[in-house]
Amino acid sequence: MRFEFDTANRILFGLETWKEAPALAVEMGRRTLVVTGRTTGRVHPLCDRLAERGVESTLFSVTGEPTVDTIRQGVQAARAAGCDMVLGCGGGSALDAGKAIAALLTNGGDPLDYLEIVGQGRPLTQPSAPYIAIPTTAGTGAEVTRNAVLGVPEQQVKVSLRSLSMLPRVAIVDPTLTLGLPPEVTARTGMDALTQVIEPFVSHRANPFTDAFCREGLCRAARSLLQAYRHGDDVQAREDMALASLCGGLALANAGLGAVHGFAGPFGGMFEAPHGALCAALLPHVMAINIRALEQRQPESEALRRYAEIAQILTGDPAATAQDGAAWIKTLCAALSIPSLSAYGLTPDAFPTLTAKAARANSMQGNPLPLTESELFEILSKSGGR
């Protein structure tokens, strides 16, 4: 057995922990770029507290999933304001943008110099500027991952800027920041979190540390995702989902993902769609087809046993089979009103391009086994791409 485990230098979890950010920030710098989402008002109390500690703030709003141009603009804003650190407070898009801006602030150059697949893939040689990540959704786990997913519109792809040095200096996970999430956002981000404790658990890169995080995240998401969707003011449910999301980020950063994310990244580059909604639409069908392929080609596989364990955790039935888990996820998606992929414009004529891009995606390499072209087409078809 051999494995590594990397994460943020420090993690703070708990109710009202966001209030501790200014005291931590003052140890890292005096001017910070505060990267947030479309609604900037939610970070004003944080900026006020930073000012009380003598830390100047410059706001930078990310209005959608970040692109290479978003990062160029963010770096320019940070340099113009003389920022010596970055603080991301928002959903996964804001946190990823913050990570990328912090990296480029110290390394210079253009994002395409460092991007994998479509860029030059050069390594980031300098440590990122100090970065504090504060999620306001419970889904991506981006506060503890070493990459930032960026769109490259001219090539219709989403790819990662990736480096160990991009791990945040501090991650602050405060479940109270998710209490105001609308049900549809709770659903899609929650399904992303659930996907990210399933895929690393069946990945061939799984290890005992990531397994523990996946099991904990599965238990909490199974009991609380639907509750948080139906009763957004349930603090216990929100706490469970915030922890499930954190567990997913810790797991995927060290064990990888699988076919769900292998498809979701390229899909997001070709069509306008929320990442979590794509994961939700794909997950039950990826699970079902992976299970069938394992039964046919690798019936003694450890991943097949793990799919059964997932089913037993999700359903609470110790006799549940692997297929029962996929069925449970499909029922959950219906209860959460998850749209099919056709809602975002997918039609069969896009299948060849999408499957070719998915096969090259970094995330696809963690799938429990290689899937055939016909199996990849079947996933898209059953996910609603008719």
- Helix H, strand E, coil C: the string for 175-204 is HHHHCCCCHHHHHHHHHHHHHHHHHHHHCC
Among 235, 222, 375, 179, CA closest to 292: 375
| Residue-averaged pLDDT of the chain | 96
pLDDT of residue 163: 95
Please tell us whether the domain made up of 10-178 is placed in CATH 3.40.50.720: no
Predicted confidence (pLDDT) per residue in 144-167, tens digit: 999 999 999 988 888 899 999 999
pLDDT of residue 386: 55
For the four alpha carbons of 222, 226, 228 and 234, in that order, the dihedral sign comes to negative
- Does the structure show a pLDDT above 80 at 273? yes
Per-residue pLDDT averaged across 241-269, rounded? 96
pLDDT above 90: percentage of residues in the chain? 92
pLDDT of residue 29: 96
State the Cα–Cα distance between residues 184 and 307, nearest whole angstrom: 27
What residue ranges do the domains of the chain occupy? Answer: 10-178, 183-382
Amino acid at residue number 322: A
Q: If one looks up domain 183-382 in CATH, what number appears?
A: 1.20.1090.10
Residues 53 and 282 sit within 8 Å (Cβ to Cβ): no
The pLDDT confidence band at residue 385, using thresholds 50, 70 and 90, is low
Per-residue pLDDT averaged across 157-182, rounded? 95
* Distance set, CA 178 to CA 88, 173, 245 (Å): 15, 10, 12
Give the predicted TM-score (pTM) of the model: 0.95
Predicted confidence (pLDDT) per residue in 286-324, tens digit: 999 999 999 999 999 999 999 999 999 999 999 999 999
What number of residues does the chain have?
386
Per-residue pLDDT averaged across 233-245, rounded? 98
The pLDDT confidence band at residue 52, using thresholds 50, 70 and 90, is very high
pLDDT of residue 2: 86
Q: For the purposes of burial, counting CB atoms within 10 Å of the CB of 316, is it exposed (0-12), middle (13-18) or buried (19 or more)?
A: exposed
Q: Which two tokens stand for residue 134?
A: 């504060």
pLDDT of residue 384: 86
State the Cα–Cα distance between residues 222 and 159, nearest whole angstrom: 30
Answer yes or no: same fold for 10-178 and 183-382: no
